[in-house]
């Protein structure tokens, strides 16, 4: 009986602290997205309707590894058993993708535009069981475009 009580207490603590950490991370992501909204990022291969001369371009990337907490892992295991959408992994991937894109944008704050955005996702398994996800790794990369100084003075960006 004692071990069941300890298990339930740890489960509740995992849920509470996991929910707090996730909420704090989402608030951080939203605040940083608002600050970087002026930097357009697209998967297009050509600049968005601009015929302005480009001074230079560079490859930029953002990378993040986010771990799943044990409570969400337990819920995902139950959902896999009964079938259906695994929402705990959906929020994990959403946070990881958004964070990777933000880190990409933060790596080139003076760029005028980011083109050809690509996102690579992989799971990092925990232990010998390859079906059990421990963490998710997301890499976002693209081409940062910098327009020449004379033409950016008239640009709405």
Spatial strand order in the sheet of 54-67: 54-67, 133-147, 113-125
* Inside any domain, residue 144: yes
pLDDT of residue 138: 96
Containing structural domain, residue 112:
2-152
- The answer to whether position 135 is within a domain reads yes
60 inside domain: yes
Model confidence band, residue 140 (pLDDT cutoffs 50, 70, 90): very high
pLDDT of res. 100: 97
55 found inside a domain: yes
- At 46-75, the pLDDT tens digits run 887 667 888 899 999 999 998 877 677 766
Whether residue 157 is contained in a domain is answered as no
The arithmetic mean of pLDDT across residues 11-16, rounded, is 82
* pTM value > 0.95: no
How crowded is residue 9: how many other Cβ atoms within 10 Å of its Cβ?
10
Confirm whether 146 is domain-assigned: yes
- Here the contacts of 130-136 (C-beta below 8 Å, separation 24 or greater) are 132/73, 133/68, 133/73, 133/76, 133/89, 134/67, 134/68, 135/65, 135/66, 135/67, 135/68, 136/65, 136/66, 136/68, 136/92, 136/93, 136/96
Q: State the Cα–Cα distance between residues 95 and 10, nearest whole angstrom.
A: 24
Q: Are 132 and 125 in contact (CB under 8 A)?
A: yes
| CATH code assigned at 125 | 3.30.110.70
The count of structural domains within the chain is: 1
């Amino acid at each position: 009986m004692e071990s069941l009580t300890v298990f339930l207490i740890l489960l509740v603590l995992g849920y509470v602290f996991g929910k707090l950490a996730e909420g704090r991370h989402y608030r951080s992501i939203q605040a940083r997205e608002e600050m970087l909204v002026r930097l357009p990022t697209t998967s297009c291969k050509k600049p968005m309707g601009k015929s302005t001369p480009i001074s230079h371009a560079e490859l930029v990337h953002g990378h993040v590894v986010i771990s799943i907490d044990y409570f969400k892992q337990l819920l995902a295991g139950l959902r896999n058993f009964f079938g259906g959408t695994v929402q705990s992994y959906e929020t994990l991937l959403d946070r990881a993708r958004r964070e990777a894109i933000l880190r990409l944008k933060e790596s080139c704050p003076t760029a005028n535009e980011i083109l050809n955005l690509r996102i690579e996702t992989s799971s990092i398994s925990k232990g010998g069981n390859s079906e059990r996800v421990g963490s998710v790794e997301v890499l976002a990369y693209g081409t940062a475009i910098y327009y020449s100084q004379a033409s950016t003075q008239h640009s709405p960006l």
